Amino acid sequence: MKKSMLIAAMFVSGVALATPQLQTIPAPTAVEIQEGKVKIEPDALPDPVKTTIANDEAVKSLTIAEAWQMTLPDGTFQFKVVFDDGTEEKLAKKYDQDGNEIKE
């Protein structure tokens, strides 16, 4: 009888210790999606972007200092074109792949 009482007491204490513990689940972290940015040659700009630049009175006479192609999460492209306007702060404009200027 003592053995069965001892076994029962051990079983109950073991069950008490084996109760599920609440686990802390880490809060979801914010994920920032970076655009894929690649430096390209100005000649590699798409024709619609080149046409828009050629028709823009503000930049058509300026030299393109650098051009960047940015891949967006939806698979489309934007282009950042930096123009050398003779100042330390260069003029930069963004265009979509159809040549439309993106105003920020």
Q: pLDDT (tens digit, 9 = 90+) per residue, 65-100?
A: 999 999 998 889 999 999 998 888 889 999 999 999
Instruction: Say which residue the tokens 């894929």 belong to.
Output: 36
Domains and CATH numbers, the chain: 36-102 (3.10.450.360)
Tokens of residue 81, six digits: 């074109």
Indicate the DSSP class of residue 30.
P
Count of positions (residues) in the chain: 104
Query: At 30, is the pLDDT very low, low, confident or very high (cuts 50, 70, 90)?
Result: very low
On whether the pTM is more than 0.75, the answer is no
Q: Contact 93/104 with Cβ under 8 angstroms?
A: no
Reduce the DSSP state of residue 26 to 3 states and report it: coil
3-state secondary structure of 96: strand
